[in-house]
Amino acid sequence: MRIHSLYTDIPKPERFTYPFCYEPHPLCQLAAKEVQEYIASHEVIRDDADNGKMFGVLIVESPGVSPPQQGESEGVFFLAAYSGLLAGRNDWDYFVPPVFDAQQPDGYFKTKEREISLTSHSSPLTTKKMSQDLQSWLFHQYQLLNARGESKDLVDVWQEYYSRPKLRRKFPLPPGGTGDCCAPKLLQYAYQQGLKPICMAEFWWGQPTKEELRRHLNYYPACRGKCKPILTWMLQGLEVDPDPEALGFQHMELPVVYEDDAIVVVDKPSGMLSVPGRIEEYSVATVMRQRYPDCVIAHRLDMGTSGLLIVAKTMEAYHPLQEQFIRHQVRKKYIALLESTALSSERNSSLFTLHSSLKSGTISLPLRPDPMNRPRQVVDMEHGKRAVTDYEFLSPLTSHLSPLQLVALYPQTGRTHQLRIHCAHPDGLGCPIKGDELYGTKADRLYLHASEIWFRHPITGDEMHLVSPSPFL
């Protein structure tokens, strides 16, 4: 049975979930709990999911489904899905089927795969061409529906989304696995069954992997790389929540820590951009340019990170500062509060005990962007760029009952999300920074603060050391 009843009086949301930035609706949380109980009670499914798997739930309604029983919300049900395969299968009765089933042993896809395998040693060029043709054929089999009842195959959806010539050259065809994530499966089945989507959420089950720094039972947005083009099409005809990032950010005070004729150092609050984003203009840069039209931000902090940020008032001051950053002559100290829930696993507790007993050390894990899930970064030992962080534990780890851990971080390099990944990764500290919704668990803020900075004044050459007390201590 793939349509599951919900027994609740929780009211429905006014609009459907914006899938790339959302808080899970209580109906989704209730449905997710039932799915989690199902996974835990089925050994084969649980054993495979424990390795790390994304699951999703879709709340739906339909007047055509049998009347609700006592205590059941009027005409409200849920669907469940998983990304990719589960225990090597995509035909579990509890979950919705794939948009297209390419796993049939005697089907065209598997038959051609076997043919290609037989030619792989004798004719590499022929094998490559056959593989490309088979992948193209597969994409055309994904006939994606939307809420208007329209249908379009995956290639057309993809190329319509990337219609500008420059983007079309960059993204000519979907990457492998596109269309097999939770969200497209859920929406496709709902439309096929005449069900109206109400809200949706996705959660991670299992241990974080070195590629997927995700936390057990945490909720996550749909991936942008593979799902953004698809869901842009499939959600047409639904009234969807607006993109929160397009609503604008709260304007905040920007305290000045130091200022002279050449530079100004501000104390950026958490939740404020350093420079204008793709949608949002409000940032440290725009605020400072209102005061000093020729100023330039000398470096950046993540939106969630608070603390010291240097602004050059003139290009004469900017270039020497940039030279110091390029030569790694600027020293920075960050204070981070690490996530308490991550200490629950035996491995993380052991790892934490090891690191805290050492008191200090160095993490070296090269990083690169995840092109299919920006802005996430991944550790890549072969293709990643060098990223090195020194760390120092500031408070002892007394027991698993007192897990909050304060750490000082001293980056030697300045890669995107470097400190966040070096804390969260199993080969780093193995414990994410509190409030890190990308690599840990969302909280009221990201508990990372740029507390001290050392540099030479770009004009006078004087040694500068500025301090900003951490707002969460």
Catalytic residue among 48, 267, 302, 436: 302
Type of residue numbered 67: P
Q: What is the DSSP letter of 373?
A: S
Q: What is the 3-state secondary structure (H, E, C) of 261-292?
A: CCEEEEEECCCCCCCCCCCCCCCHHHHHHHHC
Type of residue numbered 304: G
Neighbours of 443 (CB within 10 A): 15
260 an active-site residue?
Answer: no
Neighbours of 435 (CB within 10 A): 20
Say which residues have a Cβ less than 8 Å from residue 1's Cβ, sequence separation at least 6: 93, 94
Q: What angle do CA 128, 102, 61 make, to 5 degrees?
A: 140
Type of residue numbered 409: L
Beta bridge partners of 202: 56, 220
What is the rounded distance in angstroms from the CA atom of residue 36 to the CA atom of residue 60? 19
What is the dihedral sign for C-alpha 246, 217, 197, 236? positive
What is the rounded distance in angstroms from the CA atom of residue 6 to the CA atom of residue 271? 36
What is the rounded distance in angstroms from the CA atom of residue 237 to the CA atom of residue 204? 28
Q: Of 175, 190, 203, 182, give the one whose Cα is nearest residue 84.
A: 182
Pairing of strands 405-411, 331-338: antiparallel
What is the rounded distance in angstroms from the CA atom of residue 197 to the CA atom of residue 179? 18
The set of catalytic residues is: 302
